[in-house]
Amino acid sequence: MIGKLIKYEFKHTSKTMFTTWIVLAAATLMGSLALYRLDQGNHSDTTFSVVMNVIMLVLYIIALIGIFYVDFIYLCYHYHKTMYSSQGYLTHTLPLSPAAAFSVKIFAFFIWMLASSVLLVISVLVLLNVGSGGEFFSTISTFMWDEFIQSVNELFGISAPFLIFIFIADTFLGILWRILWVTASMAIGQLFQSGRTGFSILAGFCIYMVNQIVNTIFLAASGYNLTAFLDGARKNLIRHILGGSMIISAVMLIALYGICVYINKKRLNLE
C-alpha cells in the first residue's frame, strides 16, 4: 500500500517538476550560449550583442534561483492541498496510517528537492565548463587532490572525505529541515478554527526562532568566539561545531517529524 502511495505521489507531482526542469535545461543552454559568446568575444561584437549576452546571463541566474523556489513552493502547495485542503479528504480516508501517508509525502518531497538541487549544481558546472572554454572538467581531473586533502587537514583538522561527507549530510539535513519546518508549521496552523494561514506562518516563525536560539546556545556553550578562532584554536572548534550542529539538526528534525505525525494522527482537524 505504501509503495502504491509513493508511486501516485510521484505521478501526481511529476508533470510540474519535469516542466521546471525543462525550463532549467533551457536556461542552462541560454546561459551557456551567452557565456560562450562573451568568452569568445571579438571586436566585431556590437554593444547590443554584448548587452544581450549579459541579459541572458542575468536571466539564467534568476531562473537558477527561481526554479529552486518554484519547486519548493509548488511542493508545499501540493502537500497542503492533499493533506489539509479538499484532497485531504481522500488522503485521510485511504486505508493507511496517518504516519505512513505523511512519511510518503515527505519522502517524495525530499527526493524531488534533492533532484532539483543536484540538477541546479549540474547546471552551474556546465556553465563553468563553458565559461572556461571547456577546461573546467579537465582541470577537476588533474586537481591536486593531495594538496587539497592536506590543506583541509591543516585548516580544519579533519580529513577531506569527512569534510565532503559533512557537506553532503548537511545538504540532506538542510533540505529535510526546510520540508519539515513548513509541514510542521502547516500541521500546527490547521489546529486552529480560523486564521489557519496566519497561525501557520506564526508557527513557522516560532520554529525558526527555537532553532536559532538552540544553535546560538550551542555555539556559546562551545566557546566559539572570533579571537579563539584566529588564535589557531579552530581545529577542535570546527570539529566540535560541525558535529554538534548536525546532532542539533537531527534532534530538531526528529522533533518536527514527531509533531507532524502526532497532529495528523491525533489532532487532525479537516473542518
Partner 1 sequence: MNTLVTCKELTKTYGSKTALNHVSFEIESGHIIGLLGPNGSGKTTFIKLLNGLLTPTSGELYVKKLPVGIESKKIISYLPDQTYLNMNNTVKEVLDYFHAFYADFDMERACQMLDSLHISPKDRLKAMSKGTKEKVQLILVMSRRAELYVLDEPIAGVDPAARDYILQTILTNYDPDASILISTHLISDIENILDQVIFIKEGEIFLQASVDDIRMQHQKSIDALFREVFK
Which candidate, 269, 252, 265, 219, places its Cα nearest to that of 97?
265
CB of 81 to partner 1, least distance (A): 9
Cell reading at 13: 507531482
114 exposure class (CB count in 10 Å sphere: 0-12, 13-18, 19+) = middle
| Residue among 190 and 249 whose Cβ is closer to partner 1 | 190
CB of 151 to partner 1, least distance (A): 52
The residue type at 133: G
CA distance 263 to 185: 11
| Residue among 43 and 266 whose Cβ is closer to partner 1 | 266
CA distance 84 to 87: 8
CB of 177 to partner 1, least distance (A): 28
What residues line the site for partner 1 (CB under 8 A)? 1, 4-5, 8, 12, 15, 86-90, 92-97, 193, 266-271
Q: What Cα–Cα distance (Å) separates residue 75 from each residue in 79, 81, 151, 188?
A: 6, 10, 40, 18
| Residue among 1 and 251 whose Cβ is closer to partner 1 | 1
| Residue among 21 and 84 whose Cβ is closer to partner 1 | 84
CB of 111 to partner 1, least distance (A): 20
Torsion of CA 52, 58, 63, 68, to 10 degrees: 170
Write b or e for each residue in 3-31: b if 16 or more Cβ atoms lie within 10 A of its Cβ, otherwise e.
Answer: eebbeebeeebeebbeebbeebeebbebb
CB of 5 to partner 1, least distance (A): 8
| Residue among 1 and 62 whose Cβ is closer to partner 1 | 1
| Residue among 8 and 165 whose Cβ is closer to partner 1 | 8
CB of 132 to partner 1, least distance (A): 43
